């Protein structure tokens, strides 16, 4: 295998595991990030993402990996991979400023003599690679196809997933031309086991949005059915457990406090934006899913209020302990976590909010710090009511929640073995 000089732009949840896979494949890797703190930490062997340990970063550094915020050092690069954030602007539209900036960085460093491969991995709407990235790459005189190859390859990383990682998850690749796709497939086969070709760029871009919209819509479906089932006095968790025994044609999704992270709540907006601006239409499924999933934090608070009332208490003045404030179990990422909405609604109702989460150092909601409780047993015994938002492993320990007096479990598929006899608890 030829050793390539690879530059990864954007060293976050997506870029870091990719760096690791490239190093493991024997490539020479440079990491570029605009955040000097990220660069300093990485060069000092410190990880800032959940799935990659600091000891791994240290070993990369000792093998020659360098992180930099100096774009001029990105010389003689064979493969540029852009993994920068694609958030939403204040008005809810796609914010592609980081993609544009990273494309400009690449444009300035493109060496036509090497005919490099440039790949965008950031999640975005169909058309971005050809309409936004390509013109920027060509802005300094290089011509796509002739001077560089261009492809899109969506990242499917699932932080915290112990079974499926970068290496064993098939990688989708679509190029500007057949030969661009060939180049990208050839490269990705050096770092992963299976590569799936699409017809072109837009199909690869759209595949990622289909995957995330599918999750968004199905989570909304079970969230709505959970609310309805409660009103009909049906145990919806029991319903899911029964339905998922069907060996074909059904995939189980679970209700919860709402969706979070940088994918599910955001990516469908990219699709909605494209459809609106191109076709003047809306994607009705997306809008409905957004409405339902966004209503879940308020629903959690509504159910908490019912639990308190059943015990002769009210939200006003109650001391509420939130357990697990990240956007999913066993990771430390707070981005877009539904816990923010739950805390806001609780405060609005006059409750006092504290949190427990071994993966989160400090938690600020609307510029106000939420007190962190370190000892789970005494914190849950002291609280008027605890709400299990994310089922981190620590909450599954047999004695973890023994002392809780009132407990709302938003993760109903998790058997609360530890809820004590004195605990009055209910599922979402």
Ligand X SMILES: NC(=O)c1ccc[n+]([C@@H]2O[C@H](COP(=O)([O-])OP(=O)(O)OC[C@H]3O[C@@H](n4cnc5c(N)ncnc54)[C@H](O)[C@@H]3O)[C@@H](O)[C@H]2O)c1
Q: What positions carry a catalytic annotation?
A: 263
Does the footprint of ligand X cover residue 101 (CB under 6 A)? yes
Does the footprint of ligand X cover residue 15 (CB under 6 A)? yes
**Residue number closest to ligand X, CB atom:** 12
Question: Which of 229, 210, 297 minimizes the C-alpha distance to 259?
Answer: 297
Does the footprint of ligand X cover residue 357 (CB under 6 A)? no
Does the footprint of ligand X cover residue 330 (CB under 6 A)? no
Nearest approach in angstroms of CB 163 to ligand X is 15
Binder to ligand X among 74, 98, 149, 325 (CB under 6 A)?
A: 98
Nearest approach in angstroms of CB 207 to ligand X is 12
Question: Which of 324, 283, 318 minimizes the C-alpha distance to 301?
Answer: 318
Binder to ligand X among 5, 24, 34, 52 (CB under 6 A)?
A: 34
Question: Which of 321, 414, 296 minimizes the C-alpha distance to 373?
Answer: 321
Does the footprint of ligand X cover residue 12 (CB under 6 A)? yes
Binder to ligand X among 5, 24, 35, 47 (CB under 6 A)?
A: 35
158: helix, strand or coil? coil
DSSP output for 96-156: -HHHHHHHHHHHHH--GGG--EEEE-S---TTHIIIIIHHHHGGGS--BTTTBEEEE----
Residues 6+ apart with CB under 8 A from 411: 254, 256, 329, 388, 389, 390, 391
Does the footprint of ligand X cover residue 80 (CB under 6 A)? no
Binder to ligand X among 7, 19, 57, 84 (CB under 6 A)?
A: 84
Nearest approach in angstroms of CB 150 to ligand X is 17
Nearest approach in angstroms of CB 247 to ligand X is 29
Cβ distance to ligand X smaller for residue 83 or 419: 83
CA distance 125 to 277: 11
Q: What angle do CA 31, 32, 35 make, to 5 degrees?
A: 125
Nearest approach in angstroms of CB 237 to ligand X is 27
Does the footprint of ligand X cover residue 33 (CB under 6 A)? yes
Which residues are paired to 175 by β-bridges? 151
Q: Which stretch binds ligand X (CB under 6 A): 98-106, 282-290, 337-345, 389-397?
A: 98-106
Binder to ligand X among 30, 157, 209, 346 (CB under 6 A)?
A: 157
Binder to ligand X among 155, 205, 305, 336 (CB under 6 A)?
A: 155
Q: Residue 338 is encoded by which pair of tokens?
A: 């539904």
Strand order in the sheet with 385-388: 352-356, 319-323, 385-388, 406-409, 424-427
Which residues are paired to 385 by β-bridges? 320
Q: Residue 298 is encoded by which pair of tokens?
A: 């308020």
Cβ distance to ligand X smaller for residue 262 or 347: 262
* Dihedral angle of Cα 63, 64, 67, 73, to the nearest 10 degrees: -160
Binder to ligand X among 83, 320, 379, 404 (CB under 6 A)?
A: 83
Q: 10 Å Cβ neighbour count for 82?
A: 26
Nearest approach in angstroms of CB 138 to ligand X is 18
CB 342 within 8 A of CB 324: no
Does the footprint of ligand X cover residue 332 (CB under 6 A)? no
Q: Which stretch binds ligand X (CB under 6 A): 154-162, 288-296, 323-331, 346-354?
A: 154-162
Does the footprint of ligand X cover residue 9 (CB under 6 A)? yes
Does the footprint of ligand X cover residue 351 (CB under 6 A)? no
Q: Which stretch binds ligand X (CB under 6 A): 12-20, 132-140, 313-321, 357-365?
A: 12-20
Per CB under 6 A, residues contacting ligand X are 9-15, 32-35, 38, 83-86, 98, 101-102, 105, 122-123, 155, 157, 159, 262-263
């Amino acid at each position: 295998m030829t050793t390539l000089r690879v530059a990864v732009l954007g060293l976050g949840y997506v870029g870091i595991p990719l760096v690791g896979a490239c190093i493991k494949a024997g490539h020479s890797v440079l990491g570029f990030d605009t955040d000097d703190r990220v660069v300093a930490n990485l060069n000092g062997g410190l990880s800032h993402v959940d799935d990659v340990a600091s000891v791994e970063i240290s070993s990369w550094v000792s093998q020659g990996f360098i992180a930099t915020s100096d774009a001029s050092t990105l010389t003689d690069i064979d493969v540029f991979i852009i993994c920068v954030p694609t958030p939403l602007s204040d008005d809810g539209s796609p914010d592609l400023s980081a993609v544009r900036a990273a494309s400009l960085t690449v444009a300035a460093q493109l060496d036509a003599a090497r005919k490099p491969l440039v790949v965008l991995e950031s999640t975005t709407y169909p058309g971005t690679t050809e309409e936004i990235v390509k013109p920027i790459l060509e802005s300094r005189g290089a011509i796509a196809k002739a001077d560089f190859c261009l492809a899109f390859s969506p990242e499917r990383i699932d932080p915290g997933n112990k079974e499926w990682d970068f290496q064993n998850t098939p990688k989708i690749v679509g190029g500007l031309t057949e030969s661009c796709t060939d180049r990208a497939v050839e490269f990705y086969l050096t770092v992963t086991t299976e590569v799936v070709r699409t017809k072109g760029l837009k199909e690869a871009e759209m595949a990622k949005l289909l995957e995330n919209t599918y999750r968004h819509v199905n989570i909304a479906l079970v969230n709505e059915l959970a609310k309805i089932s409660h009103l009909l006095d049906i145990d919806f968790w029991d319903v899911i457990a029964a339905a998922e025994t069907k060996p074909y044609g059904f995939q189980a999704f679970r209700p919860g406090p709402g969706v979070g992270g940088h994918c599910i709540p955001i990516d469908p907006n990219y699709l909605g934006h494209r459809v609106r601006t191109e076709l003047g239409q809306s994607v009705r499924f997306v809008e409905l899913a957004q409405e339902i999933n966004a209503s879940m934090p308020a629903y959690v608070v509504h159910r908490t209020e019912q639990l308190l009332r059943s015990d002769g208490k009210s939200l006003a003045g109650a001391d509420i302990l939130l357990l697990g404030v990240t956007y999913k179990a066993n990771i430390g990422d707070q981005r877009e976590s539904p816990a923010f909405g739950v805390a806001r609604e609780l405060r609005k109702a006059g409750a006092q909010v504290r949190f427990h989460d071994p993966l989160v150092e400090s938690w600020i909601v609307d510029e106000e710090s939420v007190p962190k409780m370190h000892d789970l047993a005494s914190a849950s015994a002291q609280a008027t009511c605890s709400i299990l938002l994310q089922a981190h492993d620590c909450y599954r320990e047999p004695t973890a929640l023994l002392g809780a007096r009132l407990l709302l479990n938003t993760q109903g598929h998790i058997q609360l073995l530890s809820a004590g006899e004195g605990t009055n608890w209910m599922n979402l």
